[in-house]
Amino acid sequence: MSDRSREYAYAGRLEEARRLEAQANALGTIIEKELNILGLKPNMKVLDAGCGTGAVTRRMASKVFPEKVCGVDIDPLFIDEAKKAASREGLTNVQFTLGNIDNLKYEKGRFDLSYCRLVLMHVHNTVKTISELKRVTKRRGIVAASDIDDGAMLWFPQTPRFFNLWSKFGQWAKARGDDRYIGRQLFSIFSEADLDSVNIYPIPMYGSQQSPVALKMLVSVPVQIIEQDKEELIKEGVITAKDYRESLSEVQLVLSHPGAFAMGMTFLATGEVP
């Protein structure tokens, strides 16, 4: 396997910058649960690798104050957006830097915690990326990664057309280099990177008509993800325009069903630097 860093499929798009912010807002409760598990404390030195627009970096900042959180991303537009958001929010203890997380400019053992969220599914060599995070984390410090797994999605009423489309999208994305089934591999990746005391925390999230905002968010995130690649999927013959239309009608049925339920899962992996 080559270890060349690939370009993020949605690089340099302002609409992706907005989607990342909206997604982090919608999943705020899950992010807070992760940060609690990670035990962020004042004065901790933290790296957010592949920080995108810094939605999580900015949340981390108040918890480690007065120490700075460092966010690194390969995309100049996202780093620019992250800096603007931090300045709008008056944050003084975040530092956003353009860089490749497979080859960080930080010295060995610089951080107490190195974290990445929704990044491993996009990198070319996951063990290399986690090993680089391990290098810049101090002895007995924590390396952590949070990611999804499309196999952990459950909806009622069932939507066979949409799930068929979603599965075709997953296979197509994998051929492009994005692994949407990464959650189940985190234990293996962290073990291969020789981290100690590897732990996996599956964090469920669900929505029903009792929590319609969560329901809408869980159902609309996959729809928005497919929407971004819809034209290409149709052009390449992976799906037809009719498949797409019919799938979206099914999704609408879920949202209006009185007993609707949708569940997804994020997986947080942690490992200690030996």
Query: Can you read off the two tokens belonging to residue 20?
Result: 């990342």
d(CA 69, CA 162): 39
Residue sitting closest to ligand SAM (CB): 52
Q: How far is the CB of 65 from ligand SAM (least distance, A)?
A: 21
Task: Looking at residues 50 to 79 of the shown chain, list those that interact with ligand SAM (rule: CB under 6 A).
Answer: 50-52, 55-56, 73-75, 78
Q: For the window 115-134, what string marks contact with ligand SAM as x by the rule CB under 6 A? A: --xxx--xx-----------
Judge whether 129 and 195 are in contact, CB under 8 Å.
no
Biggest distance spanned by C-alpha atoms of the chain:
55
**What are the Cα distances from residue 177, in Å, to 7, 171, 173, 244?**
10, 10, 6, 23
Residues 14-18: contacts with CB under 8 Å, at least 24 apart: 14/77, 14/81, 15/228, 16/228, 17/52, 17/53, 17/77, 17/78, 17/81
Q: Which is nearer to ligand SAM, 209 or 224 (CB)?
A: 224
Residues in 2-31 that interact with ligand SAM by CB under 6 A: 5, 8, 11, 20, 24
Do residues 265 and 204 make contact, with C-beta atoms less than 8 angstroms apart?
yes
Q: Which two tokens stand for residue 38?
A: 């990670």
Q: How far is the CB of 210 from ligand SAM (least distance, A)?
A: 27
The site that binds ligand SAM (CB under 6 A) totals a number of residues, namely: 22
Cβ neighbours of 259 (radius 10 Å)? 8
Site for ligand SAM in 92-111 (CB under 6 A): 100-102
> For residues 45 and 117, which CB has a smaller minimum distance to ligand SAM in the complex?
117
Least distance in angstroms from the C-beta of 81 to ligand SAM: 10
190 binds ligand SAM (CB under 6 A): no
Residues that bind ligand SAM (CB under 6 A): 5, 8, 11, 20, 24, 50-52, 55-56, 73-75, 78, 100-102, 117-119, 122-123
